[in-house]
Amino acid sequence: MSVDLAAPPTPRRGGPASLQLVRRIVATPSGAFGFTVAVLLVVVAVFAPVLAPHDYTALDIEHRLEGPSSTYWLGTDNLGRDLLSRLMMGVRIALQIAVPAVVLGVLVGLLLGLAAGYLGGKVDTAIVVILDAIQSFPSVVLALAVLALLGSSSWAIVLVLAVAFVPSFGRVTRTSVQAVQALPYVDAERNLGAGTLRIIGRHVLPNVVPPLIVLMAMNLPSAIGIESGLAFLGLGVQPPTPDWGVILSEGFARIRESPWPVLWTCGVLAVSTLGFTFLGERLRDVLDVRTTEVRS
């Protein structure tokens, strides 16, 4: 990927930069939708035990596999557990795995991209080969292979997802560093005696961070989807944990008796994916980051 290094627009006067950024994000319907979904997911993840109307582990066998009602707003699963409460707790589990995985992928990709772009030569070639090797494996296939060896613990899932995301973050960073180094004023500052840390901190990172933020927002739904898919296949979070993939798997096993567990879980996954995708696209526009596919 190549990144246009146009400087982000200067925030308008009349409020803090963060508030101005939020106003620009919600200025479009898609941006407002994405921002709202992201905020709601974070709030639910933090306050799920308080917001959940029922204990997500409580069994009500008499009302198992029922549809929405005044008592259970989204219905119940095969053991009579409240679907709304379990889906709320599932938000926490999804973000507890997806966010650390994406952050770890960013950190490793940033370090590799900085080394490849700034040092160049054999170091650049070696890192590009490593990134190509990782990217040659589909994320799900890589996850299945690694989890078969390490087991299906949460930390193993985070590690697998982080490794899968490293190539995209590393490539964006490498391309940005190479473009910045070619700018005349950076070369002039280097000739005047500026050190490596000063050049990286003053010129490289400000150009690298905006596209990485956009990529983080767009990779979050991928991480959530892969994690839920692994749980659905029985290789991720295990029952009775209220993971979205677990709820979906249990629902499919009894979909003829009640479609509600599958419908609600698929709906939550779809809304979450759309929300983070729209947020990432809006951040790309607000931060003036334009990306195009190229061959490295």
We report the CATH number of the domain holding residue 153 as 1.10.3720.10
Give tens-digit pLDDT for 180-235: 877 777 777 777 776 777 777 777 788 888 889 999 999 999 999 999 998 998 88
Residue 55 lies in a domain: yes
Residue 6 lies in a domain: no
Q: Are 109 and 115 in contact (CB under 8 A)?
A: no
Mark 180-189 as b/e (b = at least 16 C-beta within 10 Å): bbeeeebeeb
Q: How many domains does the chain have?
A: 1
Q: Tell me the mean pLDDT in the region 3-12.
A: 47
Q: Tell me the mean pLDDT in the region 75-91.
A: 94
Answer yes or no: is pLDDT of 121 > 90.
no
Residue 225 lies in a domain: yes
Residue 9 lies in a domain: no
Higher-confidence residue of 93 and 15: namely 93
User: Is the bond preceding residue 49 a cis peptide, omega within 30 degrees?
Assistant: no
Please provide residue 152's backbone torsions phi and psi, each rounded to the nearest 5 degrees.
-100, 40
What's the pLDDT at 98? Answer: 94
Give tens-digit pLDDT for 135-146: 888 877 888 778
Mean pLDDT value across the chain: 86
Q: Quote the domain boundaries for residue 63.
A: 24-292
What's the pLDDT at 76? Answer: 94
Q: Helices (H), strands (E): how many in the chain?
A: 11, 2
Determine the Cα–Cα distance for residues 119 and 129; give it in Å rounded to an integer: 15
pLDDT band at 290 (very low <50, low <70, confident <90, very high): low
Residue 10 lies in a domain: no
Q: Tell me the mean pLDDT in the region 106-135.
A: 91
Q: Other C-beta atoms within 10 Å of 23: how many?
A: 14
Q: What Cα–Cα distance (Å) separates residue 263 from each residue in 22, 75, 255, 267?
A: 32, 11, 10, 6
pTM of the model: 0.85
Residue 13 lies in a domain: no
Q: Tell me the mean pLDDT in the region 82-106.
A: 95
Residue 236 lies in a domain: yes
What's the pLDDT at 296? Answer: 34
Q: Which of 21-35, 84-98, 140-154, 257-271 has the lowest mean pLDDT?
A: 140-154
Token readout for 168 is: 């995209």
Residue 19 lies in a domain: no
Answer yes or no: is pLDDT of 3 > 70.
no
What's the pLDDT at 127? Answer: 94
**What angle (nearest 5°) sits at the alpha carbon of residue 12, between those of residues 7 and 17?**
80
Answer yes or no: is pLDDT of 288 > 80.
no
